[in-house]
Amino acid sequence: MEIPFIVNARKDTGLFNSKVGIWLFLASEVTLFGGLFSGYLFLRLYADYPWPERALPVLPGLINTFILIGSSVTVVFAWAALKMREWRKFQIYMWITLICAVLFLGLKAVEYNAKFHHQGVRLSSEGSVQDFAYLEGHVHYAKLDENGKMVEVSKEDKKANPEGVFSANKIIFKASELTFALKRPAHEAYVKEILAQAGDEHKITLIGDYRVPNAEELLAGGKNRAQLESSEAALVVADGAKLSIDDLDDMEEAFLDARAHDKSIRTEFLRASWSWIRDEKGIEEISNLVITTDLWKERMAEDSEKIKPLMLSAPGTVTYKIEPALTLVWDPDDIPKLAKTEIKLRDDTVVKGELQPSPMLLGVDAIDFRHTAMRAEEEGIDPLEAIKQSWVLTHKNSKGENDLKKAWECHQAWLANLTKKLDEMSDKKGLEGEDRFVPTENDKYRVNWDQMVAYQKLDFDVEAVAAASADGSLQRSGLFDLSGFAGANHNNYKFPHVEIPRENVGFTSTFTPKWNTYYAIYFTITGLHGLHVIGGALVLGYYLFFGRKMYDSNPEWLANRVEVGGLFWHFVDLVWIFLFPILYLM
Amino acid sequence: MSADSHDHHHELPFWKKYLFSTDHKTIGIQYGLAAGAFLLFGFFLMIVMRWSIAYPHEPLPGYLSWIFTDGWKGRWLDDGKVTGETYNMFGAMHGTIMVFLGVVPLGFAAFGNYVTPLQIGAPDMAFPKLNMASFWVYLAGGIVMCMSFFMESGAAKSGWTNYSPLAGYADRQIVNQLLAGQTQWLIGLVLLITSSLLGSVNFITTIIQLRAKGLTWMRLPFFVWAMLVTGFLLLLAFPPLEAAGIMQLMDRMVGSSFFMPTGLYSAADDVALDLSGSGSPLLFQHLFWFLGHPEVYVLLLPAIACVAEIIPCNTRKPLWGYKPMVWGVIVLGFLSFIVWAHHMYLTGMGPVISTFFQTTTVLISVPSVILLTSLIISLWGGSIRFTMPMIWAAAFLPMFGIGGLTGLPLAFNLADLHLHDTYYVIGHFHYVVAPGILFGLFAGVYHWYPKMTGRFMDNFLGHLHFWPSLVCMNLLFFPMLTQGMAGFHRRWYNGGEGYIEKASDGVNVFGQTVADNISLNEVMTGAAIALAIFQIPFLLNMIISYFWGKKVTSDNPWDATTLEWATPTPPGHGNFTFDIAVYRGPYEYSRPDHDKDFFPQWEEPKSSAPLEEPSEKPEKETTEA
């Protein structure tokens, strides 16, 4: 059996099958990306925070645009070569197309990587307008000293001795007791991590025996509860057992079995009571009204007396003590609930002890007050007043200094000069009212990384910055400045360093989809687009590397396939042409 | 296809012939069996829910709970009673399974796959391997979704619509999110969408490219038209939901806030959620219903398609209004893309948008009524043979009519304010789907079963299946309309008993209306259980008839006119044994100038009237291989 119109076109439609197929598929792709683009619009229009405009480095995106456009041309040449039965040419053009795809993905990886290492912090502090200032930068490293206090580790020291070093965005908690909830399986990775951090010095042992009466012994009768519980068969894990995932699994299983046993007995009793009230008492009221009658309540009271001795009643939690107390270093993402004396992990394990100072150490490359200003304006407060109360400007480091405040003052000097220049320009052109040039929100409330570098080079000297701004010698990064190719480069520059107390960390994340809805949509659309590039490259690569056989037997068929693959490739290019402006330029 | 190409295909090994087959007929049957299994499972979930609604304080009876292990019951039942959490989980999965895993695969994928290529005279689908891939991706999606019933988190529990922020928050306590039911629902959904995309590309291409010579567009059976429109609906409406699914997956897996608004707070932990916020729950609803509404027509059109084939065949007269029906279905398909927000009148999206969607919603009833009316008028003056398929098809008409007409009040903003999220809505769409669409599909099973197996289904068992089902369906769904108008909310796991106490307070009118109507719960639960029992004759019929049913005496046992009846019974690989050509329209019954009361599309005219020449003969393909 053969399917017609695989190679040659059907006369009345003028198309071969896969060409119809690919156009249909592309139509569905249009609505797929259409959904995502409308998501972008929706999120941007209804954002309740200042949308990050032009936040991405443009150069990698621009290069990628040209790479993709170029590859779209070469893929057509490859197809044309096949049509003219020039295998060698086909190979060359297809190779170029594939190299373009790899270059594109490589640049994408560089961009992504920079973001994965870039941390954002939304500060929070008490006050009428909450802080909402953002700091951006790189998290520094730290480790625990012999007293369990967090101390900073430089990059060089980390390289020399990486043991025990963690990135300084962790919860430090002095733990003395662990309580596991048996109705949920203990997360193995957590238990392993606790054991690893405990090492040999800290002993983690079970408090009291974990005993569950044996169901068979119980049903056989003849023993009271105390006898049942002290029986050999009841022991699951003995007092003083060291913490292990196997023990936890055993206890969990014993608990779940006991719960199933108890519940099935209770179910039988309840079922019997319903038959009794229906059959013997002949009550046919709407079933849920029956339970409000005295007859039913009495029966339930009787039942509960009968049920009690039949229950295994396994305890639902087990507690381990830690001696001596252990200082745990834990990822804040895994702690849904944090209190001074107790933390709860995501698997409902409760750790008791004492919260230690867990500051976040950050090399700050950008300060952003736009959200603070937005909130202040909503509440009718002067934005500059609200900014003054921000932790960014009020805190002091151990030396009693505040580099960020200096940077902000430099920025004010730069802004004053900018405002003056814009005023002059407006006057020269004779602009009035709303037509006059004014600084943007970004100019007014954000110190970008390249400005931070420029102010730092002048030692945060306000007068020097003012002078440099006036004579135009203050350097900012341009489009083709490769030192900041994918954003702030912490290897080349030394940025101000701050220690943010945990209570001032409102929300923090690397520049991943979690950071805000802009990065969420950025990663989702570009990620999905990247997957399309990979998929297209795989298909085109298949034609290049495994197409020779088909070329020899049926070159027209191969040309059809390349044509279809090329159409897909053009679509992928087209998506990028929409993506580049909306994500990088607007 | 030439006749000789049949002879040189060799016998395939079992796994290639029945398991990983690329033959559209085998794939159609695979889809049918898998979808049937999912339908039964979804039905079972519903009976458990209905038990909880009618008897919230009674343990599940043994005949419903034997399927669960003791451990499972310990986790999910409260002393044998269904808990609110379990009810939510079953409710979400009942909807999901019935829509995505049951009815769509049965209607579009199973019937579409089996019948469409036969009706257009094609040897197979345009992309047979893709066809096989869509089935296995569908099955994988279904298994991923249902697997979570057995895991710590349980299955998805945020309604079949999966609205955020609820759906973004549920199962958050699970450390490995890949093992959370709510996440697996999304993964399963993405797989299902992928499957239907592959399927719809395949269907449309097949219909455009592989029509037999002479089979011009207006000679296509209505069935094929309906499949074509359904294919376009799936093709264009599903991807935005895939986008939404991916975004929600991001929300769950990497903590983004696409659909999570600012300021979410967890009462259980007494903390603000660790999220950036500023997401939009409304965006999810828009993307969901952009699929969700066309999906309703994806459910419906295959059923109408089956009925439109069965009625002319059994009334022995042409389909009344073939052309208006074709244009009607095209307009219906188009309009179905611009009515979605009528599911969202109460979301606060604003009166202007509501008014727009109210208008388009009322507009779409025009083509729907054209379709239904044409089918009803087709009965007029026919000498109707009440064969088993015809009985089902005839019942489809009024049942679907009730379903459609009860939708009208919901289309209007003002009436919807009262009816939104009540049992009235449930009654409305279940009338459409269960006694409507499912009856149409049952009709299809009885109609094409002889072609698939070479044997008729048994009439006695058929009647034993039909009449009780008809009665039970109405006992099950009509009271919902009553309860809905009385204000019963669609998500009460205990059927509204919380309001009965309030009835004693004379001022509380709502408590009184609940008390007046709550006893209907028991009627509906009884009807649901009876309905389940009366599906047994059908299952038996499927099996018994396969081995012992009455054999067909010809390849065209119903004396029908469309091309699928020109194949051998059952059709072999490659379908047709002769060069198929089409000479006339699809429903040439009782032509006065013809000696028999049917004139099949493939039969050559006796006198070569020039008008009946095949209009265009596509060139036979020449391959250089």
d(CA A363, CA A136): 8
Range of the domain at B400: 3-260+278-564
d(CA B135, CA B142): 11
Token readout for B610 is 């020039």
| Domain contains B149 | yes
Neighbours of B532 (CB within 10 A): 16
Check: CB of residue A584 under 8 Å from CB of residue A54: yes
Residues 147-176 of A with CB under 8 A from B: none
Flag whether residue B2 sits within 8 Å of chain A, measured between CB atoms: no
Closest by Cβ to A3, choosing from B61, B124, B620: B124
Q: Which residue of B has its CA nearest to A348?
A: B173
Instruction: Give the per-residue pLDDT at A128.
Output: 56
| Domain contains B91 | yes
Instruction: Express each pLDDT in B120-143 by its tens digit.
Output: 999 999 999 999 999 999 999 999
Instruction: Express each pLDDT in A126-183 by its tens digit.
Output: 755 678 999 999 999 999 998 889 999 998 899 999 988 999 999 999 999 999 999 9
Question: Chain A closest CA to B240's CA: distance in Å?
Answer: 4
Flag whether residue A190 sits within 8 Å of chain B, measured between CB atoms: yes
- What's B32's domain CATH number? 1.20.210.10
Instruction: Give the per-residue pLDDT at B1.
Output: 38
Enumerate the residues of chain A whose CB falls inside 8 A of the CB of residue B257: 514, 516-517, 520
Beta bridge partners of A352: A177, A342
Neighbours of B168 (CB within 10 A): 28
Question: Chain B closest CA to A348's CA: distance in Å?
Answer: 8
Q: How many domains does chain B have?
A: 1
What phi and psi, each to the nearest 5 degrees, are found at residue A247? -60, -45
Mutate to test the interface with A, among B10, B21, B623 (most CBs of A within 10 A): B623
| Domain contains B265 | no
Cβ of B276 and A5 within 8 Å?
Answer: no
Instruction: Express each pLDDT in B585-603 by its tens digit.
Output: 999 999 998 989 999 999 9
Q: How confident is the model at residue B103 (pLDDT cuts 50, 70, 90)?
A: very high
| Domain contains B599 | no
Question: Chain B closest CA to A330's CA: distance in Å?
Answer: 14
Q: How confident is the model at residue A539 (pLDDT cuts 50, 70, 90)?
A: very high
Question: Chain B closest CA to A200's CA: distance in Å?
Answer: 27
Q: Where along chain A do its domains lie?
A: 17-116+517-585, 171-357, 363-429+436-510
Q: Between A517-546 and A555-580, two packed helices, what is the crossing angle to 10 degrees? A: 160
| CB neighbour class for B291 (10 Å; exposed up to 12, middle 13-18, buried from 19) | buried
Q: Name residues whose C-beta falls within 8 Å of residue B523's C-beta, 6 or more positions apart in sequence.
A: B475, B479
DSSP annotation of A172: E
Enumerate the residues of chain B whose CB falls inside 8 A of the CB of residue A532: none
Instruction: Give the per-residue pLDDT at B623.
Output: 43
Instruction: Express each pLDDT in A79-111 by its tens digit.
Output: 999 999 999 999 999 999 999 999 999 999 999
d(CA B304, CA B76): 40
The whole-number average pLDDT for the span B289-309 is 96
| Domain contains B618 | no
Closest by Cβ to A286, choosing from B74, B126, B518: B518
| Domain contains B598 | no
Q: How confident is the model at residue B553 (pLDDT cuts 50, 70, 90)?
A: very high
The whole-number average pLDDT for the span A218-236 is 89
Flag whether residue A539 sits within 8 Å of chain B, measured between CB atoms: no
Decide if pLDDT at B7 tops 70: no
Cβ of B173 and A347 within 8 Å?
Answer: yes
C-alpha pair distances (Å), A20 with each of A6, A540, B345? 11, 19, 38
Check: CB of residue B561 under 8 Å from CB of residue B598: yes
Token readout for A527 is 């990620």
Mutate to test the interface with B, among A28, A276, A293 (most CBs of B within 10 A): A28
Question: Chain A closest CA to B569's CA: distance in Å?
Answer: 18
d(CA A485, CA A474): 19
Instruction: Give the per-residue pLDDT at B608.
Output: 53
Cβ of B123 and A507 within 8 Å?
Answer: no
Instruction: Express each pLDDT in A47-85 by its tens digit.
Output: 999 999 888 999 999 999 999 999 999 999 999 999 999
d(CA A70, CA B190): 32
d(CA B433, CA B302): 12
Q: Please report the DSSP string for B178-189 in residue order.
A: GG-HHHHHHHHH
Cβ of A13 and B208 within 8 Å?
Answer: yes
Residues 37-76 of A with CB under 8 A from B: 38-39, 42-43, 46-49
Decide if pLDDT at B383 tops 60: yes
- What mean pLDDT is reported for chain A? 93
Cβ of B239 and A35 within 8 Å?
Answer: yes
C-alpha pair distances (Å), B430 with each of A505, B98, B435, B473, B480? 51, 11, 8, 9, 9
d(CA A299, CA A322): 47
Instruction: Express each pLDDT in A380-423 by its tens digit.
Output: 999 999 999 999 999 998 889 999 999 999 999 999 999 999 99
The whole-number average pLDDT for the span B340-354 is 92
| CB neighbour class for B460 (10 Å; exposed up to 12, middle 13-18, buried from 19) | exposed
What phi and psi, each to the nearest 5 degrees, are found at residue B265? -140, 135
Question: Chain A closest CA to B549's CA: distance in Å?
Answer: 31
Instruction: Express each pLDDT in A544-553 by its tens digit.
Output: 999 999 999 9
The pairing of strands A210-211 and A342-344 is unpaired
Question: Chain A closest CA to B521's CA: distance in Å?
Answer: 10
Above pLDDT 90, what percent of chain A?
Answer: 84
Cβ of A4 and B283 within 8 Å?
Answer: no
Flag whether residue B503 sits within 8 Å of chain A, measured between CB atoms: no
Q: What is the pTM of this model?
A: 0.94
Residues 570-589 of B with CB under 8 A from A: 573-574
Instruction: Express each pLDDT in B224-277 by its tens digit.
Output: 999 999 999 999 999 999 999 999 999 999 999 999 999 999 888 888 899 999
Enumerate the residues of chain B whose CB falls inside 8 A of the CB of residue A556: 624
Cβ of B621 and A8 within 8 Å?
Answer: yes
Instruction: Give the per-residue pLDDT at A129.
Output: 64
Flag whether residue B208 sits within 8 Å of chain A, measured between CB atoms: yes
d(CA A209, CA A229): 10
- Judged by average pLDDT, the poorest of A308-312, A480-484, B278-282, B285-289 is A480-484
Enumerate the residues of chain A whose CB falls inside 8 A of the CB of residue B75: 256, 259
Q: Name residues whose C-beta falls within 8 Å of residue B367's C-beta, 6 or more positions apart in sequence.
A: B328, B329, B331, B332, B335
d(CA A92, CA A99): 11
Interface contacts A/B by beta carbons within 8 Å: 272
Q: How confident is the model at residue B607 (pLDDT cuts 50, 70, 90)?
A: low
* Alpha-carbon dihedral A522, A525, A529, A535, rounded to 10 degrees: 120
- What mean pLDDT is reported for chain B? 93
ipTM for the predicted complex: 0.94
Instruction: Express each pLDDT in B420-467 by its tens digit.
Output: 999 999 999 999 999 999 999 999 999 999 999 999 999 999 999 999
Cβ of B619 and A11 within 8 Å?
Answer: yes
Q: Which residue of B has its CA nearest to A290?
A: B57
Instruction: Give the per-residue pLDDT at B2.
Output: 40
The whole-number average pLDDT for the span A429-448 is 93
Cβ of B80 and A267 within 8 Å?
Answer: yes
Closest by Cβ to A39, choosing from B255, B258, B522: B258
Mutate to test the interface with B, among A22, A284, A286, A297 (most CBs of B within 10 A): A286
Residue listed under structure tokens 């659309």: A525
The CATH number of A17-116+517-585 is 1.20.120.80
Instruction: Give the per-residue pLDDT at B6.
Output: 45
Enumerate the residues of chain A whose CB falls inside 8 A of the CB of residue B176: 187
Instruction: Give the per-residue pLDDT at B53.
Output: 96
The whole-number average pLDDT for the span B355-366 is 96
Flag whether residue A304 sits within 8 Å of chain B, measured between CB atoms: no
| Domain contains B579 | no
